Structure 1
Amino acid sequence: MIAKKVLLVGNFGVGKTSLIRRFVLNEFSEEYISTIGVRVSSKVVTYENQEIKLLIWDVAGTSGNEKIPKAYFLGASAAMFVFDVSRKETYLNINHHLASVKELSGLQNITIVGNKKDLLSEEELQTVINTVSVKIDLITSAKENDHVEDAFLKLTAQAIK
């Protein structure tokens, strides 16, 4: 079995920890508990007939200006940038955030995920999709378990490339 370090990054409160809890434990909680530093979870997934142990690094969210320690990014095989579709400030400067993640991690392809789709109507969601300046890979809802597994499978595919 191979192990791959993958990162979840993005502003505070976008649902990174909720996505991980939904994926690893199939649980969801309305309680917001801020991640301090980094929290590592793991889950074994089967992808293209091989077992891969994902070491999922839940990197504490920022409000944009704080520096994240480079050590968190070392050795990462893939990264998922998560934003909150209901909070404009989490995706307006997405290019700047992605450039920072790419620089720190050395990764060129980052999986882009908009979370909390349960908070918007289809029309509002389409407006967000049209506003975001980069291609969004998936729109998820950790609460409703919508496309969460797909997001992590996409991350797994990135990790083993």
Structure 2
Amino acid sequence: MIAKKVLLVGNFGVGKTSLIRRFVLSEFSEDYISTIGVRVSSKIVKFNKEEIKLLIWDVAGTNDDEKVPKAYFLGASAAMYVFDVSREETYLNLKNKVEVVKELSGLKNITVVGNKKDLLNSDEINHILKTISISVDLITSAKEDENVEDAFTILAKQTLK
């Protein structure tokens, strides 16, 4: 088995912790508890007959003017940038935000995930996707457990590249 460090980053309140809780513990809570600093969870996944222990770093959400310590990004094998499809400020300048994560982590590819799909209808989501200047890998709902497993499978696959 191999262990791989993966990061979940994005603005505060986009659902990073909820995605991790849904994936690791199969739980969801409406209660919002802000992550301070970083919280690490782990889960073993199987991909292409390979067992990978994902060490999932839940990096505290930020406002645009806050800087995340570079040390959090060191040694990461993959990263997921999460935004909230119902909050425009979390996906404005998405391309720039993802570029910053690439720069800090040294990763070439970042998985981009829009969360909180359950708050909008498909027409609204499609409209938002047309306004975003980079490709979005998945739209998820931690609450309804939609595409969460798929998002982490993409992340696990990224660790092997």
TM-score if structure 2 supplies the norm length? 0.99
Q: Residue 22 of structure 1: SS of its match in structure 2?
A: helix
Alignment of 1:73 onto 2:73? yes
AA at the equivalent of 2:82: V
C-alpha RMSD over aligned residues:
0.5
Partner of 2:19: 19
Alignment of 1:159 onto 2:156? no
TM superposition shift of 1:56:
0.1
AA at the equivalent of 1:129: L
The worse-fitting range, judged by mean Cα deviation, of 121-130 and 4-13 is 121-130
CA distance in 2, matches of 1:61, 1:39: 12
Q: Residue 33 of structure 2: SS of its match in structure 1?
A: coil
AA at the equivalent of 1:141: S
Partner of 1:5: 5
1:56-99, Cα deviation, whole Å (9 max, x unpaired): 00000001111110100000000000000000000011112111
Q: Deviation above 2 Å: which 4+ runs of structure 1?
A: none
CA distance in 2, matches of 1:160, 1:43: 16
CA distance in 1, matches of 2:134, 2:96: 11
Q: Residue 62 of structure 1: SS of its match in structure 2?
A: coil
Which runs of 5 or more structure 2 residues have no equivalent in the other structure? none
Equivalent residue pairs, number = 161
1:38-65, Cα deviation, whole Å (9 max, x unpaired): 0000000000001100000000000111
TM superposition shift of 1:139:
0.3
Q: Residue 42 of structure 1: SS of its match in structure 2?
A: strand
1:119-157, Cα deviation, whole Å (9 max, x unpaired): 001111111111111100000000000000000000000
Identity, in percent, stands at 72
Q: Residue 154 of structure 2: SS of its match in structure 1?
A: helix
1:3-42, Cα deviation, whole Å (9 max, x unpaired): 0000000000000000000000000000000000000000
CA distance in 2, matches of 1:62, 1:153: 25
